[in-house]
């Protein structure tokens, strides 16, 4: 690849895009070649591997720090993101250029700004999955989390589902494209159409090492517990379920109650599934997980839209914006469970189930 002329370009300028935006060094990207560092352009997102800064002795005896212009591109599988050190700002810069084709730019950017912290928290929980594992992401659209995980763990087999129109048995797979709005580059993601609360997942039982079920549970309104039963069936023995959902006890809601304001979600132009139909307390989520055959390995509330220290403290006290809960399928049977605290005015047989009482 040709390097920019020394007189006109900085050695650390991007060698791909026309505007030659500064490519900022990131220690969060690991180059497999010793002595090299990875740069990412903030404009086009291109990656470049260059030799690290080296000191050379001048004729006058002084030292000069310079960066060689001989560089080469590295492909995505050759590098890995250091998710534990990555910040929200870095994750946003990585993802913000990518939008689903014909998606509303302003609305989607606002959603990403609010969600990028959650993406990071979830990715850190999954970064140690077994090599070559199969992962199902329910509600994969708009694919930012998918993209983050593919950069962090390109070895994982990642499969997505989305709600939508009735599935066509003759064409079970569909394709969404996301577009880099700076370069026009396109990436394709295959997905299955499935309503996880009314249909079994379109896969054989025991197919997945992990299921990602993020920001979907609160949208379900017909039979939400059925979704956990369907996920339990799709997981392998010892498989992991990662669920996130808004926390009704978040600090923002507490503030609104104090000012006598409503905490309920607005009606949505995307239909009934577009709004939050039911939000769950930490105790309710534990009850559902335990009665649907999952052993809880971790549960906390997280802050996703900012990194203010006092908000992090509040999240540790249970007032974070979202719940994050991890459940493991470990030989506990998943029998029918429809608790009275969640369902009302149904016939008696709807609730029948042998097992523990929820105590709620």
Residue 159 has a pLDDT of: 96
Same domain (yes/no): 42, 120? no
3-state secondary structure 251-285: HHHHHHHHCCCCCCCCCCCCCHHHCCCCCCCHHHH
- How does strand 36-41 pair with strand 47-51? antiparallel
- The number of distinct structural domains making up the chain is 2
Classify residue 95: in a domain, yes or no.
Answer: yes
Cβ neighbours around 159 below 10 Å, total: 23
Task: Tell whether the torsion through CA atoms of 131, 117, 282 and 346 is positive or negative.
Answer: negative
Q: Would you call 229 helix, strand, or coil by DSSP?
A: helix
Q: Which residues contact 298 (CB under 8 A, 6 or more apart)?
A: 125, 324, 325, 326
Residue 167 has a pLDDT of: 58
Secondary structure letter of residue 273 according to DSSP? G
DSSP-assigned letters across all residues of 66-77: E--S--B---GG
Same domain (yes/no): 161, 38? no
Token readout for 357 is: 């009482």
Same domain (yes/no): 75, 153? no
Distance CA 35, CA 53 (A): 9
Classify residue 1: in a domain, yes or no.
Answer: no
Instruction: Quote the longest CA-to-CA distance of the chain.
Output: 92
Residue 39 has a pLDDT of: 59
Q: Which one of 64, 80, 96 terminates a domain?
A: 80
Same domain (yes/no): 159, 63? no
Classify residue 254: in a domain, yes or no.
Answer: yes
CB 40 within 8 A of CB 94: yes
Cβ neighbours around 275 below 10 Å, total: 16
Same domain (yes/no): 29, 105? no
The range of the structural domain enclosing residue 262 comes to 83-351
Same domain (yes/no): 130, 192? yes
Same domain (yes/no): 44, 102? no
Classify residue 134: in a domain, yes or no.
Answer: yes
Q: Which residues contact 313 (CB under 8 A, 6 or more apart)?
A: none
User: Which CATH number characterizes residue 343's domain?
Assistant: 3.40.50.150
Q: Which one of 80, 97, 122 terminates a domain?
A: 80
Same domain (yes/no): 51, 90? no
Cβ neighbours around 277 below 10 Å, total: 15
Mean pLDDT by 10-residue block, N- to C-terminus, for the chain (360 residues)?
Answer: 38 42 41 53 53 44 36 39 86 90 83 94 94 96 94 94 73 86 89 94 96 98 96 97 97 95 93 95 97 96 85 91 96 90 93 55
Residue 55 has a pLDDT of: 39
Q: Which residues contact 91 (CB under 8 A, 6 or more apart)?
A: 116, 119, 120, 148
Residue 102 has a pLDDT of: 72
Same domain (yes/no): 257, 337? yes
Element spanning 122, H or E: helix 105-126
Classify residue 4: in a domain, yes or no.
Answer: no
Secondary structure letter of residue 21 according to DSSP? -
Same domain (yes/no): 140, 172? yes
Residue 120 has a pLDDT of: 94
Q: Is 209 left (phi over 0), alpha (psi -120 to 50) or beta?
A: alpha
Residue 168 has a pLDDT of: 66
Phi, psi of 343 (to 5 degrees): -120, 135
3-state secondary structure 289-320: HHHCCEEEEEEEEECCCCCCHHHHHHHHHHHC
Same domain (yes/no): 156, 93? yes
Classify residue 122: in a domain, yes or no.
Answer: yes
Q: What's this model's pTM, rounded to 2 decimal places?
A: 0.77
């Amino acid at each position: 690849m040709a390097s920019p002329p020394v007189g006109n370009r900085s050695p650390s300028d991007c060698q791909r895009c026309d505007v030659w935006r500064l490519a900022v060094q990131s220690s969060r990207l690991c180059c497999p070649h010793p002595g090299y560092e990875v740069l990412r352009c903030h404009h086009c997102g291109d990656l470049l591997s260059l030799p690290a800064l080296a000191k050379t002795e001048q004729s006058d005896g002084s030292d000069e720090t310079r960066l060689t212009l001989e560089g080469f591109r590295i492909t995505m599988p050759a590098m890995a993101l250091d998710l534990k050190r990555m910040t929200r700002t870095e994750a946003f810069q990585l993802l913000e250029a990518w939008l689903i084709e014909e998606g509303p730019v302003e609305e989607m950017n606002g959603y990403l700004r609010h969600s990028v912290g959650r993406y990071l928290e979830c990715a850190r929980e999954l970064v140690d999955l077994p090599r070559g594992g199969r992962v199902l992401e329910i509600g994969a659209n708009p694919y930012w989390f998918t993209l983050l995980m593919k950069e962090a763990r390109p070895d994982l087999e990642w499969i997505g589902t989305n709600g939508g129109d009735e599935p066509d048995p003759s064409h079970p797979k569909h394709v969404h494209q996301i577009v880099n709005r700076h370069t026009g580059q396109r990436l394709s993601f295959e997905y299955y159409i499935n309503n996880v609360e009314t249909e079994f997942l379109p896969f054989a039982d025991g197919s997945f090492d992990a299921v990602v079920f993020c920001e979907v549970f609160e949208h379900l309104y017909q039979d939400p517990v059925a979704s956990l039963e369907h996920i339990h069936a799709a997981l392998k023995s010892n498989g992991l379920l990662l669920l996130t959902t808004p926390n009704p006890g978040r600090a923002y809601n507490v503030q609104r109650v104090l000012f006598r304001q409503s905490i309920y979600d607005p009606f949505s132009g995307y239909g009934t599934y577009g709004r939050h139909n039911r939000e769950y307390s930490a105790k309710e989520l534990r009850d559902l997980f335990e009665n649907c055959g999952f052993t809880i390995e971790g549960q906390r509330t997280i802050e996703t839209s900012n990194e203010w220290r006092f908000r992090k403290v509040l999240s540790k006290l249970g007032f974070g914006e979202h719940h994050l809960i991890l459940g493991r399928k470990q030989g506990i049977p998943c029998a029918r469970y429809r608790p009275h605290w969640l369902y009302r005015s149904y016939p008696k047989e709807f609730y029948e189930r042998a097992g523990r009482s929820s105590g709620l």
